[in-house]
Chains A and B, each alone.
Chain A
Amino acid sequence: MSRQPNRLAAGGHIDRSRPLAFRFDGRSYAGFAGDTLASALLANGVLLMGRSFKFHRPRGVFAAGVAEPNALVTLRDGGRREPNIPATMAELYEGLSAVSQNRFPSLGFDLMSVNDRFRPVLAAGFYYKTLMGPRRGSWMWFEPFVRRAAGLGAATELADPDAYEKLDLFCDVLVIGGGPAGLAAALAAGRMGARVILAEQMPSLGGSLLDEPAGGPGDLWLAPVLAELGSLPNVRLLTRTTVFGAYDHGTFGLVERVADHRAAPGPGEPRQRYIVLRAQRAVLAAGALERGIPFADNDRPGVMLASTARGFLNRQAVLPGRQAVVFTNNDGAYPAAFDLARAGARVTVADARPALPAETIRRCAEAGMELLPGHAVAAVHGRSRVRAAVLAPFDASSAATGGPVREIACELVCVSGGWDPQVHLSSQRSVKPIWRDDIAAFVPGPPPAFQIHAGACRGSFATGDSITDGFRAGRDAAASCGRTRDPGSVGDIGESLGDAWATPIAPVWDVKPLNRSGKRFVDLQNDVSVSDVELAHREGYVSVEHLKRYTTLGMATDQGKTANVVALALMARLSGRSVPETGTTTYRPPYTPVAIGALAAAETGRNFRPIRRTPLHAWHERNGAVFTEAGLWLRPWYYPQPGEDVDAAYRREMAAVRRSVGMVDISTLGKIDVQGPDAGAFLDRVYVNGFASLPVGKARYGIMLREDGLILDDGTTARLSEQHFFMTTTTAEAAKVLAHLEWLLQAAWPELRVHVASVTDQWAAMAVSGPNSRKLIAAAGADTDLSNEALPHLGVRPCRIGGLPARLHRLSFSGELAYEIYTPAGFGEAVWQRLVDAGEPFGLVPYGVEALAALRIEKGHVAGSEIDGRTTLDDLGLGRMASRRKPFVGGVLRHREALLDEDRLQLVGLEPVDGTRRLRGGAILQPHGGPHRGHGLGHVTATTYSPERGHYVALALVTGGMRREGELLDACFPLNDEITPVRVIAPRFIDPEGRRLDG
């Protein structure tokens, strides 16, 4: 392990008794508990942490926490490998392994840094110009090079071994941010008895107070507040938890990084937790982030924000440089300068403001710092780390430099261009931020519903003011939730924290260069410089949204947190407008990147959606069924015998049905109970054909249309008593049909006295089909007369089968003598087993949905592949079913002109000219012999081998329909390069007269 040259002997919030070993780019280092990867690397003297996106320039850490644009690393290995993690957000743990990104072959020696020499070529709009340029071919040539050269880290292709979970939470007051304002808000609301949830994205509560020297006034205020908050049972404190999105009606999206600070989650522990929170009120206390100032080569490792340097010093006792230059335009950088000087650094302050109060000058002198009012850092020297800063007299209003230049050797340049309140979660609710000249920053607009703003995020930068403001916000939030208890007062703030800014900020958006060398970066992550913004302006981009897309400014992982306002102000200056006139881009969720895995939570793999199983499922499993998915349902596809594939199995199963008897589970059919005095009249309006006239004890096939006249669904409905119907729907459309019926009854015809209820899960259903089905049911012990006279086709009657309750519906989907047996779900398997036991003498076979479909195709019954949402009654040859004597849903609009066109796609049957050829579902039908063009004349909807006819048959939708009877067509299946000549025939391939129905 190496020593840590930049670590101070004392101070900070690290635990020196817990040293941690870690690796970066293969080298071993040591840090302490309480470090981030960034602070630990800095402690070890490692400044170079990444290469820039486009130019591959060497980069070090620039900002704190989530704002970091440069130091993005890839953490962990294997399935846990995760790219693009800011080193400032990666908490150190024993054995942490990280690698740098976007460099080849190594971080120190990067061949791609040659891009830096091609800067004129790779300016803003490079992508658009190559993509949209006069020769499109140039993009083809450039793309592989660009994709390789410009990029972030690579995601793993291995499955994620960790678990994620989703949590639903509710509270009165959500406090967003655990800094001084947020803590004060939680304290007030908590004391008033409100149910409070406070979410802080960092590992520790305290926010900017943690940037104060350890043991100082910040800690003195913090300790009792945290103790009291921890003692309140109605306050829940969530650290490592980011509120990434503010949604409608007080809903918020949060992600809690439960185990990201360890090598792997503990047993049963999720890696991350996605929280959907509904709050009555949210206190937005998200704070403010410091921004930079573009000057020549302001991206060199060693240039960082002043607050960032102070944070490293006071949180982790890391002194990033012993010779420091602080460049600022506001008072906010002085605490950093004083703390650096106190830690032993030689500090020079260049303040862009020409006149500073005597008090400031005196305190700087006391601290042994050199103070240069009216000066700027115009450039830095050094490539992979800062070696010197060039200071020049500076006029803030024109950004011009001039006069005697001084070069100061240094390792650290701290810059502060002002502070940007984090308006995101307000802006996400469509509230436009408001520009405030006095702080040269945007603050949130009028709080949207459900929000109250507090502290630095509404421009109240002094810590003491933030605390007072937060306490007020917490009190107001709790009061608006009906909490009336007196919250008392906020407690002693401590003198030095109460300081307001003494001297106003002087807005500085860039420093004009002394000569032509050096690039002035606005957005470090996307390598967007001042000249790129100028280029966009010259090329006529006036909208900030266009600027963003043209230059890629503000995109990628940091979303321009340190860059956006600077770019906006530069653009405003170029176009002669004010910043508010120029506008801002819209902030959208998420505030920081969220892993898709967290959002998916446990809903992956088999848990992606629920599985529905029929009451007979266990029997199918025991008897070797191969299952297929039908919507959410698992249905037996076929029951293979040894050596059989699906083709062999379904042909055997359907042959058994035609020859003797088979049995299929149809419990998945939608079943709807329709009851009430007006039930018959209701069904008359719902179905195209009549149901009011249906006698008790009879069933009828019915078709429903949508309001627009196309077919919605089909099925059979039985009348069990005068006021009681039992409707079945297709498996696929069951939910849609029920909602449709409910809408009609509630919104259109509430005067009808009818109730509908889904009974799909309450009934098991099985179809017994084949010439021996009657004998089988009798043999199974049915206690009713099954003769054609007593129970004719479409007859319905209750009975008991071997003492078990059942209802027989004589219906046939296969074309054979057949019965549907309905029994309460709990009796399903017993009834099925009874039939199986009685079936041995008949050679009963269970059959799956493959044979079920094959049988109906042979018979020419339409199903979901023909009722595809685009077909009409006439398209399927069912026009005669529509009643002329009563109105029904869709009855008027089914006569639309386009639906009456004779050239519509209509149902036909097909057989191959060469009986040995196979037909394929989805084949495109083209004129025989060509030309084969586009969508052709139609398509094959369903095919099966027909054992009776000895060749394949198909149903198809063809323009002109049965007018083409006898015509030859080519069935084209490009996936297999097949062209199969077929003949158009009637869509009824067996028993066209229906003689088999009675057995």
Chain B
Amino acid sequence: MLRIDCPYCGLRDHTEFAFGGDAARQRPDHTDTDFERWYEYVFLRDNPRGPGHEFWQHVHGCRQWLVVERDTLTHDIASVRPARDLRGKAAGR
């Protein structure tokens, strides 16, 4: 079981959270009509062995979406930040 240090609620079991996918990708602007950019954003993703950025939502807590910097090999968590603070920059890039 992972233990995630929610910036709002403190250290909690991962069973309180829901996984929300890759947080390293930057969602295109909502007015963007470029097909390729949307295609890449939705369908093309890396499957890294090692550190990566993931969305997790604290669904059974504060309901905040978080960006968790987690190593997929060791499960070490290097940082947990509110997703709203990372607006405009793709996490980890």
Identify the A interface with B (CB < 8 A). Answer: 247-251, 276, 278, 430, 449, 685, 707-708, 735, 739, 742-743, 746-751, 887, 889, 892-893, 895-896
Contacts and interface: CB of A to CB of B under 8 A. Distances in A.
Interface residues of B, number: 34
B49 interface: no
B44 interface: no
A748 B38 contact: no
Contacts of B55: 743, 747
Contacts of A449: 76
Nearest to A735: B59
Contacts of B34: 892
A708 B55 CA distance: 18
A278 B63 contact: no
A25 B73 CA distance: 50
Given A278-B3, A892-B38, 17 more contacts: A248-B1, A248-B2, A249-B2, A251-B3, A430-B74, A449-B76, A707-B38, A739-B57, A742-B65, A743-B55, A743-B65, A746-B83, A750-B84, A887-B30, A892-B33, A892-B35, A893-B39
Contacts of B23: 747
B26 to A, nearest CB: 10
B57 A248 contact: no
Contacts of A748: 27, 30
A893 B84 contact: no
* 10 nearest A-B pairs in the assembled complex, by CB-CB distance: A249-B3, A747-B83, A750-B84, A251-B1, A746-B65, A892-B38, A248-B75, A746-B84, A750-B87, A746-B83
A247 B1 contact: yes
Contacts of A430: 74
Interface in B1-50: 1-3, 13, 18, 20, 23, 27, 30-35, 38-39, 41-43
A250 B31 contact: no
Given A248-B2, A248-B3, A248-B75, A747 B39 contact: no
A893 B38 contact: yes
Interface of B: 1-3, 13, 18, 20, 23, 27, 30-35, 38-39, 41-43, 55, 57, 59, 63-65, 74-77, 82-84, 86-87
A747 B65 contact: yes
Contacts of B2: 248-249
Nearest to A756: B63
Contacts of A685: 30
28 contacts: A248-B1, A248-B2, A248-B3, A249-B75, A251-B1, A251-B3, A278-B3, A278-B13, A707-B38, A707-B41, A708-B42, A735-B59, A739-B18, A742-B57, A742-B65, A743-B55, A743-B65, A746-B65, A746-B83, A747-B27, A748-B30, A749-B30, A887-B32, A892-B33, A892-B35, A893-B39, A893-B42, A896-B39
Nearest to A708: B42
Contacts of B32: 887, 892
B30 to A, nearest CB: 5
Contacts of A708: 42-43
Contacts of A249: 1-3, 75, 77
Nearest to B3: A249
Contacts of B76: 449
Contacts of A892: 32-35, 38
Nearest to A888: B30
Nearest to B36: A892
A502 B55 CA distance: 58
Nearest to B21: A743
A750 B87 CA distance: 7
A276 B84 contact: no
Contacts of A750: 84, 87
Given A708-B42, A746-B64, A250 B3 contact: yes
Contacts of A887: 30-33
Q: Counting chain B CB atoms within 10 Å of each CB, which of A276, A708, A892 scores highest?
A: A892
A746 B82 contact: yes
Q: Counting chain B CB atoms within 10 Å of each CB, which of A735, A743, A746, A750 scores highest?
A: A746
A274 B44 CA distance: 41
Nearest to A449: B76
Contact of B42 (A251, A707, A742, A747): A707
Nearest to A685: B30
A895 B86 CA distance: 30
A797 B57 CA distance: 35
A682 to B, nearest CB: 11
Nearest to A889: B30
Contacts of B30: 685, 748-749, 887, 889
Contacts of A276: 1
A525 B60 CA distance: 46
Q: Counting chain A CB atoms within 10 Å of each CB, which of B38, B43, B64 scores highest?
A: B38
A124 B3 CA distance: 43
A896 B36 CA distance: 11
A909 to B, nearest CB: 33
Contacts of B63: 742
Contacts of B83: 743, 746-747
B21 to A, nearest CB: 9
Contacts of A889: 30
Nearest to A250: B3
A248 B20 CA distance: 20
Contacts of B31: 887
Q: Counting chain B CB atoms within 10 Å of each CB, which of A276, A739, A748, A895 scores highest?
A: A748
Contacts of B35: 892-893, 895
Contacts of A707: 38, 41-42
A887 B34 CA distance: 12
A860 to B, nearest CB: 31
Q: Counting chain B CB atoms within 10 Å of each CB, which of A249, A250, A707, A739 scores highest?
A: A249
A602 B58 CA distance: 25
A430 B74 CA distance: 8
Nearest to B77: A249
A250 B65 CA distance: 24
A401 B15 CA distance: 59
A380 to B, nearest CB: 48
B3 A743 contact: no
A249 B87 CA distance: 29
A887 B65 CA distance: 24
B59 to A, nearest CB: 7
Contacts of B82: 746
